[in-house]
A = this chain, B = another copy of it.
Amino acid sequence: MSRWFHDSKAADVVSIDDRAFQYGDGLFETVAIRGGEPRLWDYHLDRLTMGCQRLQITLPDLRLLRKQLDYAVAKSAEMRAHCTAKIVVSCGVSARGYARETPTLAKTYIGVFATLPVAAELYRDGVATRVCDTRLALFSATAGLKTLNRLEQVLARSESVDHPVFEGLTLDASEQLICGTMSNVFIVSNQTIITPSLHRCGVEGVMRRHAIETLRANDIAVDIRDVAEDELYRSDEVFLTNSQFGVLPVRRCGEKVWPQHPVTRKVMTMMAEGGVAECAV
């Protein structure tokens, strides 16, 4: 079940001249709605603000955006206890050609999607992953941002038709671990928690930021740096973060199996105490 809104009206269609359709010219946020409230809302707004700045798209009125989100969630009462809101900020409509209207006439669309919680045994035992064949391009002008240009993730995800796993991990073209198709990744090596640097490609997830800040607030260091593929396989533990599921241990990547996740378990406890209830298992 899903429902889309634009300016607090039901919206099933968009203009064919919308630049999101023509060029992927825009950004999106995928917000977890828990008990009717958006989780990590300020972090979503921070990323959206940074994205609009870097793409030179007029930032929506953020107070109005929150009102529109609340309206969309209220209109989706049967889902509001646990659902996902997807906010698409398109650069707007223009004539054909890469040149934009300036200032851009950004348009905001909000979709509300019924979602099932991830099964408790995956929080307990971990999820299966593999390293995708698709590589992320290097030195992307939009590194870190959640833009509407997501073909790399689509191609990486489509590999799971032949290789069914919970998540595909992606390397960049220099064989460094970057992130999952829909998540960020952390490794634990010799009691140190490390997450890949995302300055050349990848998406800076809000739950990644929340995990880093939660750990640091608990005096646990997090190294943000390049992580080569073999370091992934040699690590003691691996876990994923995502705005919807919070934190999930990784049980397997290809042939490599991690049967125990003691550090990840501690991280999940801290995250649960910090408000990400799913992590309490």
Contact = CB atoms under 8 A, between A and B. Distances in A.
A142 B138 contact: no
Interface stretch (A34-42, A147-155, A245-253): A147-155
Interface in A18-44: 18-25, 28
Interface stretch (A95-103, A205-213, A228-236, A259-267): A95-103
B16 A4 contact: yes
Interface string A129-161: 000001111111110000111111111111011
A23 B158 contact: no
Contacts of A148: 21-24, 151
A221 B95 CA distance: 39
A96 B88 CA distance: 12
Copies in the complex: 2
Contact of A15 (B12, B139, B155): B12
Interface centre among A17, A139, A161 (most CB of B within 10 A): A139
A136 to B, nearest CB: 8
A13 interface: yes
A16 B2 CA distance: 11
Given A141-B135, A142-B151, A148-B23, A161 B102 contact: yes
A109 interface: yes
A182 B97 contact: yes
Contacts of A109: 16
Interface centre among A88, A91, A137, A152 (most CB of B within 10 A): A137
Contact of A149 (B12, B24, B55, B161): B24
A257 interface: no
Given A158-B100, A160-B99, A173-B138, A151 B24 contact: yes
Contact of A12 (B16, B95, B156): B16
A201 B137 contact: yes
A56 interface: yes
B154 A151 contact: no
A24 B22 CA distance: 8
A82 interface: no
Given A21-B148, A22-B150, 7 more contacts: A12-B16, A16-B111, A19-B154, A21-B88, A98-B150, A98-B153, A137-B141
29 contacts: A2-B17, A2-B95, A2-B96, A4-B17, A16-B109, A18-B21, A20-B21, A21-B21, A21-B88, A22-B28, A22-B150, A23-B24, A23-B149, A23-B150, A23-B153, A23-B154, A24-B148, A24-B149, A25-B150, A25-B154, A91-B154, A96-B111, A97-B182, A98-B181, A100-B154, A137-B140, A148-B151, A149-B149, A149-B151
